[in-house]
Amino acid sequence: MSEYKCFFCNKIISPDNIKRRVRCIYCGSKIIFKARSVNTKVKAR
């Protein structure tokens, strides 16, 4: 599952809350983004 974060309070929001309305349940902000996963860098040979 994807993870969403609020831009202002930086708290994690569950996808179930995003389906109902696109607002942060903690601060009420409308700016929400998908958090990126950390990729492992491998040196080329």
18 is a domain residue:
yes
In a domain, 16, yes or no: yes
The confidence score (pLDDT) of residue 33 equals 93
pTM value surpassing 0.75: no
- Tell me the average pLDDT across 26-41: 89
Residue 41 belongs to some domain of the structure: no
Considering the domain boundaries, does residue 44 fall inside one? no
The string of DSSP letters for the chain reads ---EEETTT--EE-HHHHHH-SS-TTT--S-EEEPPPPPPP----
Choice between 2 and 43, residue whose per-residue pLDDT is larger: 43
The whole domain housing 21 covers: 4-34
Q: How many domains does the chain have?
A: 1
Look at residue 7 in the predicted model and tell me its pLDDT.
94
Count of CB atoms situated within 10 Å of the CB of 20: 8
